[in-house]
Structure 1
Amino acid sequence: MLFRKKPNLRKEYDAALLKLMTQTKDDWEYAKKIEQSVIEKDSLLFAQTKLAEIKYFYLFKEARKRDIKGDTTR
C-alpha cells in the first residue's frame, strides 16, 4: 500500500483539455453565427467573437505543446 502507483494525472488533464477545447470551439462557432446573423454590426459583438477565437487557439497551442492527439471537430 505504501508503494502503490499514483493515478496518471497527465491523462486526466489531457482529457479535460480536449473537452475544454471542444466546448471553446463550440462557443466560438456560435459567436460567429450570431455575428453573421446580426444586421447591425456592434464592436462588442466583434470583440466577443474575437475573444472566443483567441481562447480556442490558445488551447490549441497548449495541446500541441503537450502533444495531445484528439478530435475536437465532433
Structure 2
Amino acid sequence: MLFKRKGSLKREYDNKLLFQIEELKQKWKNEKSLYDKSFDMNDDFKHQVELTELKYLYLFREAKARQLKIFDKNK
C-alpha cells in the first residue's frame, strides 16, 4: 500500500521534466535567435544564451537517463 503511488509519482515528475525541457528549448531558441540577429554583441547576453543551452542539455540528458520518450507534436 505504501509503494502503490511510486508509479504515479514517477509519471508526474517525468511529465514535469518533459514540460521543463520544452520550455527551455523554446527559451533557448528565442534567445539564440535574438543573439544571432543583434548587432551589439554583449558578452553577458552571450553567457545567458550559453547557460540556457547548458540547462536544456542537462535536462535532456536526465530524460535520456530515465529512458523517456519525447514525441514530436507536429508528426
Alignment TM-score > 0.5, same fold: yes
Root-mean-square deviation (CA, aligned residues, Å) is: 1.9
TM-score by length of 2: 0.85
Contact 1:21–1:56, Cα closer than 8 Å, also in 2 = yes
* 1:28-39 equivalences in 2 (<5 Å): 28-39=28-39
Cα deviation digits, residues 16-72 of structure 1 (max 9, x gap) = 100000000001001101101110101011101000100000000000111111136
Identity %: 31
How far, CA to CA, are the matches of 1:26 and 1:73 in structure 2?
A: 14
> Which entry has the higher C-alpha Rg, 1 or 2?
1
- The structure whose RCO (Cα within 8 Å, separation 6+) is larger is 1
* 1:21-60 equivalences in 2 (<5 Å): 21-60=21-60
Query: For residues 73 and 47 of structure 1, do their structure 2 counterparts lie closer, same or farther at Cα, with a shift above 3 Å needed?
Result: farther
Contact 1:18–1:72, Cα closer than 8 Å, also in 2 = no
Which consecutive residues of structure 2, in runs of 5 or more, have no partner in the other structure? none
Deviant stretches of 4+, over 6 Å = none
How far, CA to CA, are the matches of 1:47 and 1:18 in structure 2?
A: 24
Q: How many residue pairs get matched?
A: 72
Which consecutive residues of structure 1, in runs of 5 or more, have no partner in the other structure? none
